[in-house]
Structure 1
Amino acid sequence: MTSAQHIDGVLVQWGERLFYPGNRIVKSAPLPRLDGMLRRKAAVIRQRIEATVRRAPQVMVKVTGGGRGMAAIAAHFRYISKNGKLEIEDDREVVRAGKEAVRDLADQWRYGGSLIPEEGHRREAFNIMLSMPAGTNAALLQKAAREFAQTELSGHR
């Protein structure tokens, strides 16, 4: 098998996983034998990859877990504020900085509503990350993030 044929075989194998996933992949299928149909499949997958790359850069919204208990939530507040060195904004658009502000925000979460225990089995918070391409205007990014939060997370802290 030549190098180009091997690359096409791997491309078809991974492309089918990426673009046409089954319900669950248990084990890796052997590399497909390349005939005319598989070469055409490889070409189609190549076109989809190129189309995706041409549209880059892109915006991404990612849910990255969350806090099970107040200890985890407070640790995340410290992380995103770089332990109080960066400003942090709450759901009422109050902007504060410093370690005391981070502790105050954690206390608002802990006692505002039902008590959140220090350690827990329930997920009390979700982390949502908004990623923008390099060079995005910071003021527009902040405005877009606020509008996203107001639209998608209204009624939540």
Structure 2
Amino acid sequence: MSQLLNDRISGLLNNDVWHKPNRIKSSKSFTRKPPEVMVKISGYCYTADHTRSHFDYISRNGKLEIEDECGQIYHDKQSLHLLAKDWGEPQTNTKRRTRHSTHIVLSMPDGTEPKAVKKAVREFAKKTFSDNHQYIMALHTDTDSPHVHLTVKNLGFDGKRLHVRKGLPQVWRERFAIEMEREGVAAEATSSLMSLRLLRTTKTASKEHMIEP
């Protein structure tokens, strides 16, 4: 033992530095996970006035292009206000407030082509709502993440109302991810529970791969 210690001291004095092996592997050995899509319910409208104000907001007071379920384009506040009036419903005597519309925001991370996001949302909305609901959509690029505001009229053509039940937003996320991939953009729609499980698994796997035996 003393001989080994003496040899190491001698090596240090002779500038022969004894290096501890690097036990951390390069992060390049791990494959980057596709970005997660985001779909969230941002709110509801309860009156025609509320709907008109919301239309003004997502159109930036008529400055942004608005598209409806038929592909019609709106470029001014006046036409949007007429549409908001058309979406209005008769007042009821019930104390419970009726949700006239549902506001959905669909987005992708920074760096995603905005046109691809809009095309994906257009297809998502068409396949999800066009058979029974009116809706409008507006692309926003004023933040790091390109996103589309999708507003759906709750009262359907069949007289039934849109009800966002538990679990439905996750279904929408998965559909949106599929449409993004059809636009050539890799996307994931991992559920919250699955994300937590994957995070725990990834942390464990990372420790096992980063530390050599």
TM bucket (normalised to shorter chain) is 0.5 to 0.7
Give the % identical residues: 41
1:152 is aligned, of 128, 142, 146, to: 128
Equivalent residues in 2 for 1:124-139, closer than 5 Å: 124-139=100-115
Q: Deviations over 1:127-155 (max 9, x none)?
A: 00001111212221111001111122131
2:48 counterpart of 1:60: no
Task: Report the Cα distance in structure 2 between the residues aligned to 1:132 and 1:116, rounded to whole angstroms.
Answer: 37
Distance 1:72 1:116, change over 3 A: farther
Distance 1:87 1:116, change over 3 A: farther
Task: Report the Cα distance in structure 1 between the residues aligned to 2:65 and 2:45, rounded to whole angstroms.
Answer: 21
Residue pair 2:48, 2:85 contacting (<8 A) in 1 also? no
- Structure 2 unaligned spans of 5+: 1-31, 135-213
Q: AA paired with 1:70?
A: A
Q: Deviations over 1:82-133 (max 9, x none)?
A: 11111111111111211212212212312xxxx344xx81011100000111
Q: Relative to total residues, which structure has the larger helix share, 1 or 2?
A: 1
Give the match's secondary structure for 2:36. coil
* 2:62 aligned residue: 84
How much is the aligned-residue C-alpha RMSD, in angstroms?
2.1
The number of aligned residues is: 99
Residue pair 1:66, 1:127 contacting (<8 A) in 2 also? yes
Residue pair 1:78, 1:84 contacting (<8 A) in 2 also? yes
2:98 is aligned, of 109, 112, 122, to: 122
TM-score, normalised relative to structure 2: 0.42
- Structure 1 unaligned spans of 5+: 1-53
Displacement after TM superposition at 1:64 (Å): 1.4
Q: Relative to total residues, which structure has the larger strand share, 1 or 2?
A: 2
Give the match's secondary structure for 2:40. strand
TM-score, normalised relative to structure 1: 0.56
Larger radius of gyration: 2
